[in-house]
Structures are given as C-alpha cells and as structure tokens.
Amino acid sequence: MTLLNSYFGSFGGMYVPQILMPALYQLESEFVLSLKNLQFKKKLANLLKNYAGRPTPLTLCRNLTKGTNTRIYLKREDLLHGGAHKTNQVLGQALLAKQMKKKEIIAETGAGQHGVAAALSCALLNLKCRIYMGIKDIERQKQNVFRMKLMGAQVIPVKSGNGTLKDACNEALRDWSENYINAHYMLGTAAGPHPYPTIVKQFQSVIGKETKQQIFEKEHCLPNSVIACVGGGSNAIGIFSSFIEDTSVNLIGVEPGGIGIHTEKHGASLICGETGIFFGMKSKVMQTHEGQIKESWSISAGLDFPAVGPEHAWLDSIKRVTYVSITDSEAVHAFQHLSKLEGIIPALESSHALAYAIKLMNNYPNKNQTLIVNISGRGDKDLKTVEKFLNK
Amino acid sequence: MNRYQTLQKKLVPFKKGCFIPFIILGDPSIEMSLKIIDVLIENGADGLELGFPFSDPLSDGKTIQKAHLRAFSSKMNIYLCFEMLQKIRKKYNTIPIGLLLYANLIFKFGINNFYLKCFNVGIDSVLIADLPVEESNDFRKCAIANNISSVFICPHDAKKNVIKKISLYSTGYIYLLSRSGVTGTDKKIIVPSLNLIKNLKKITEKLLIQGFGISNSKQIQKIILSGISGVICGSVIIKLIENHFQNEKKMLKNIKRLSRSLKQSTIIF
C-alpha cells in the first residue's frame, strides 16, 4: 500500500518491474517524512535561496506588447542557478537521496538542463552521478554535456531507438533496476511511476507560490492566463500548482507541435496521444494502434518525449487546463522576438509557451489581459540549433 | 489440471527439472521463428516462454532488445503473433505456452480481448514484465475470467509479505529472479537463498522457475539442486539467433546443440 494516492483520477500508478517496488516505497516514505521534517525544509529553503538564487523575478515585458492592451509577465526560471527550473527539484531529490544513504545518482536528460541540474546538485552534495543522454541530444546539446562533465558527472550516450530522451529514460530505468540498493534515480520531470510525479510537483511548486505572490504585488489581482510549455510537464505543474483552485485563471499547457500535429513529427502527447502504460505510469502516450510507443519529434530536445506526466493527463480530462500546440517555427520565431525586443534569450522549450502568449496577444490586441509565461530556462544551449534552423 | 500442473506431475516424482526456452516471436522472421521453436521442442524444451515484440522493452538487456528490433524488421505485429501461436498450439498440444510481454500491448488491445484471444489460441499463462502485483488487479480479473494463468516475478531479495502476495496471485508458476537488473548473460547470477525457496515452498506447491542470465550447465545444476523446479533461458539462445540468422542451417544446428545441453543439465538424479 502506498502512503500517498498514487493516481490522479485514472492516471498514474507504478507500472515497473516488481524488483523496483521496494525502491519506490522507500522513496515515498522518505518523501513523506521530509514533508514533516522542519530541518529538511530549512535545508532545502536555504539551498534554494543561497545556492540556487530564489526567488526568481517576475519581469514585465516592456516592448513585446507595445500597441496592445496585453501585459505579459515572464517568470524568470532562466535566472535560476543552472539556467533552468530543474535546479529546484534536483536539490530536493538530492537531499532525499542523502537521507536514504544512497551514494550514487542515476539521471536522464534530453536538453541537458536536467542533466546539468543533477550534476550540480551531486557536486554540491558529494554524490556520484551518471547521466543517460541520447546520442542525438548529445549532438544538439554539446555545451550542456561539457557542463555536466565539468561538474564531475559521467555522461553515458544512449544509442538505442532514436537516441533521444525516451531512450535515455529507458536506459536510466534499466540501470536503476540493477543498482537500486545504492543508487537513487533522480527522475527529471513530473512523469514516471509514483511517487515521482508528486515529488517533482512538490519541489517545483515553489515557482507557483512565488508567482502568485509576485503578481499580487504588481497587479493586485490574479492573471488572466498562466502559460507554460509541457514536455514531461514539471515546469508547468510547478507554476500551475498555486492557481489550480483559482478557476478564473486560464491555465494553458503548450505542447511541442514539431512540424505540425497533422504530421508524424511532433510531441503533442495530450492532444494526439491515447491513454497507455509507458515509463512506469498510466498516462497519455503517443502510440500506434497496436500499442507500440511512437518516436516523438521537437526542435527542442527537452520537449522531445512521447508521453506526459499523469497529473497533466488528469487536468486535461477534467478540462481544468487547456493544452495547445506550437510548431517548431513558431517557437523559433518567439525565441528571436524575445531576444530582440526584451534582451532575454529563452530556452526553446519556453519559447513554445511564449509563442502561444504572443498568439493570444495578437488575436486580442485590444483586450485588457495579463498573461504570465513561465520562462523555464535560458536559451544559450539552443543557439546552434536555432542558427541551423534559420540557415536551412 | 492445467498444463503446468501436468508438467509438474511428470517431473517432480522423478526429481527432474524443466527447461523452458524464451524467444521473441518473429525473430528473425516468422518462418525461422517457427523453425526455431520446432528445434527447441524436439531437443528437450518442456515448455515455451514467448515474447511479443515491443518498442520499449525496459526489462531487457541489449541481446533481447535487438531481438525485438529484428522482429519489427520482419514486419511482426500483434495479430501475426497470435497467428503464430495458433500454429504452434495446433502442432504441440500438451506443452505449456506462456507469454512474456509489456503492459501497454495488452492495455491497447483491450485487457479482456487480449486474454480472450489467449484462451482462443490455447495460451497457458501471461507474465507482464512491467506489471507488479500491486497494479495487477484489472489484468488478473480478466485472466481469471478467461482461464489464463497469471505469472508474477519474485525478486531474489523479496520480503515475506511480497512472497506471500506473489504466491497467491501467481497461478501458473512463480518466476524466480536470478538477480537484479535486466535480462542478459553478461552478469553473474545467484541462486536465490535457501530461505527464500523454503519460504515459497511453505506457502505454495506451484512450480518455481528461475530466469535471467542462465546460460550454462553448471548454473542449471546448481539451481535444480537447490530445490527450484526449472529454468528459463532466453538471452543465451537469442544470442545464437543474433550471431547466425543469416545462415539458417548453422543457426538451427547451434540451437539444437544448445537446447540438448541445457535440457540435459536439468536432469541430475
């Protein structure tokens, strides 16, 4: 029996080989203890403030919205140490690993942002770290690979499948099923078997808490919409968490539309996927009519995943969050736009969310609206990809 | 009496162990896969454990992962798997046939439809690699309704309460794990502790069959001597397919030799 509910509606669960169940139970029980442990909370709060650099600002766009009645605020997770929101939750998981007396960390990464975060938390807390990364992602995220190695992590190239995040996730789970006694699997997003979606949400909820407080300070009211990109869904669930009960706020999750959701080249698992069992969870999965998992596609390595966290699947089913898609070229356009007009280079992942906010602004230029976009990470890592895309 | 019980009756009084080979259906092609099964059965296999190809086999090591890919290359799909099974069952009426596959294939097919199809083609048991007993309710209900045995994996380090649950829910045989990790012969296997075997035998009379990484006579003899009823060997056979599938004659000859040797090792009294 689990201590916490392992399902969100009919989504979630623990679909893993039997051998991993004790490790998941151990993690859940340590997490439940940590929620009640004042010392744990203090340690984490201290690291978030004095190491990671929280709180991150909420920046009002000065130029992007000119000529409209829209105000776009950016939640600046790009300014967090490590360059993305990923640092929030790895610090929490690293502390849990320490409490469980685990000596090693296994992680997987797509864009390399979670890999960088895992590597820095392991360097800080003296944990051995190995990170699985698809060969296609290693090629498109060379800088982040170097960062990980610099911080002492071992980066293991994954050649199977398409050489992307899905394959790295499979390989990390394979490693964990052999080494669960000494190793903690530092899963990078709000997906996978219980208790990961709950743990990741808890540690990322700091984004939503800060955002709510900051928007009240600036606007003295709730925003019209909160917009975040959704791959596995950790930055989105983090910022949504404080607004879920405020039904006047539109919550919008933006999936990677790739070349177009009418093609085979996209990663929109909520819009185009079906309920399935994959990566330890029951959720929305891109799959064939026979249940084989499809390869996803996105210009953004961090969104290139054929499934989504189970809480998003549930929020979609109860229609609390609207999930939309943005294509590669729309995301690149937003990437250029924000860089040029505001002097902020957003991650390609976040550019998807931004592109949708720009769409909302352009569709209703006279509407008096406040939009918050979660800039989940910075775009330095994507410069080559964008350059290549623009030179095509 | 189901086919596993019949097998047990045939072996246990004579203190013999059983040898169950595992291969992926359609690896490297449907025709060759059927021929491989013939060779295995003619050369000592007491039962069959057959896998359906899956895109993301996370319990499998490199050798079996490649087998899934080879099966896909030969355009294998779930319907062709069932067609193959029908042919195998028609030819071999008494041998227990178990399936080992991943949960999404069953879920997408429709859980009840899947077990009904299994019943119609004469399958004895289904083991789902990524389904722990804790999540098995919906699957077990349909298995029971369609008279298919469920098989669960008992880890080598399982605690008493887990052993109890697995013994209760595993209705075909109990799959004892040699070690942690994924399939493959590249790592050392261990014989589960006598304590674990004793605990299992105290609460169940079902066949205890060990799998993961078993590849030679010495290991098999040690396993059978410890009181385990039999072995499942996958990667060691699949490696031969990988090495020789472009030379069918050589591949079948090698599988024949290996099958005989593995079966021979289960008879030690």
Per the structure, the complete domain to which residue B228 belongs is given by 3-265
**Taking a C-beta distance cutoff of 8 angstroms, is the pair B232, B211 a contact?**
yes
Mean pLDDT of chain B: 94
B134 touches chain A (CB under 8 A): yes
Supply the pLDDT for residue A34. Answer: 97
Q: What is the pLDDT of residues A233-273, one digit of tens each?
A: 999 999 999 999 999 999 999 999 999 999 999 999 999 99
B182 touches chain A (CB under 8 A): yes
Task: Output helix, strand, coil percentages for chain B, rounded to the nearest 5.
Answer: 50, 15, 35
- DSSP letter at B193? P
Tokens of B19: 């040898």
Supply the pLDDT for residue B269. Answer: 65
Per the structure, the count of domains in chain B is 1
CATH (one of 3.40.50.150, 3.40.50.1100, 2.60.120.20, 3.30.70.260) for A15-48+86-196: 3.40.50.1100
- DSSP letter at B2? -
**Interface contact B65-A160, CB threshold 8 A:** yes
Domain locations along chain A: 15-48+86-196, 53-83+204-391
Tokens of A338: 């924000």
Supply the pLDDT for residue A294. Answer: 96
Distance CA B238, CA B234 (A): 6
Distance CA B230, CA B216 (A): 13
Contact list, B153 vs chain A (CB under 8 Å): 17-19
Q: Any catalytic annotation for residue B60? A: yes
The pTM of this model reads 0.96
Distance from CA of A381 to the nearest CA of B (A): 28
What are the catalytic residues of A? 61, 85
Cα end-to-end distance, chain A, whole Å: 54
Q: Is the ipTM of this complex over 0.90?
A: yes
Q: What is the pLDDT of residues A72-86, one digit of tens each?
A: 999 999 999 999 999
Which B residues, 199 through 228, put their C-beta within 8 Å of a C-beta on chain A? Answer: none
Distance CA A74, CA B71 (A): 49
Tokens of B131: 């389904």
Tokens of B153: 């994996």
Distance from CA of B253 to the nearest CA of A (A): 30
Q: Which CATH class is domain A53-83+204-391?
A: alpha beta
B186 touches chain A (CB under 8 A): no
Distance CA A185, CA A173 (A): 8
Residue A134 CB contacts under 8 Å (≥ 6 apart), including other chains: A110, A157, A158, A161, A162, A163, A164, A165, A166, A167, A168
CATH number at residue B196: 3.20.20.70
Question: Quick check: do A15-48+86-196 and A53-83+204-391 share a fold?
Answer: yes
Distance CA B32, CA A132 (A): 35
Q: What is the pLDDT of residues B142-177, one digit of tens each?
A: 999 999 999 999 998 888 899 999 999 999 999 999
- Assess whether pLDDT exceeds 90 at residue B190: no
| CB environment A113-123: b (16+ within 10 A), e (fewer) | bbbbbbbbbbe
A55: preceding bond cis by omega (within 30 degrees): yes
**Interface contact A15-B134, CB threshold 8 A:** no
B77 touches chain A (CB under 8 A): yes
How is the beta sheet containing A7-8 ordered, strand by strand? A7-8, A11-12, A281-285, A274-278
B137 touches chain A (CB under 8 A): no
Q: E strands, chain B, where?
A: 18-24, 48-51, 97-101, 125-128, 149-154, 173-177, 207-211, 230-233
**Interface contact B135-A174, CB threshold 8 A:** no
Distance from CA of A197 to the nearest CA of B (A): 17
Share of chain B above pLDDT 90, in %: 83
Supply the pLDDT for residue B268. Answer: 78
Q: What is the pLDDT of residues B72-94, one digit of tens each?
A: 999 999 999 999 999 999 999 99
Distance CA A189, CA A196 (A): 8
Q: Name the catalytic one among B31, B38, B46, B49.
A: B49
Contact list, A13 vs chain B (CB under 8 Å): 135
Supply the pLDDT for residue A307. Answer: 97
Q: What is the pLDDT of residues A313-322, one digit of tens each?
A: 999 999 999 9
Closest CB to B180 among A19, A21, A173: A19
B28: preceding bond cis by omega (within 30 degrees): yes
Measure CA B26 to chain center. Answer: 16
Share of chain A above pLDDT 90, in %: 94
- Assess whether pLDDT exceeds 80 at residue B241: yes
**Coil, strand or helix at A233:** coil
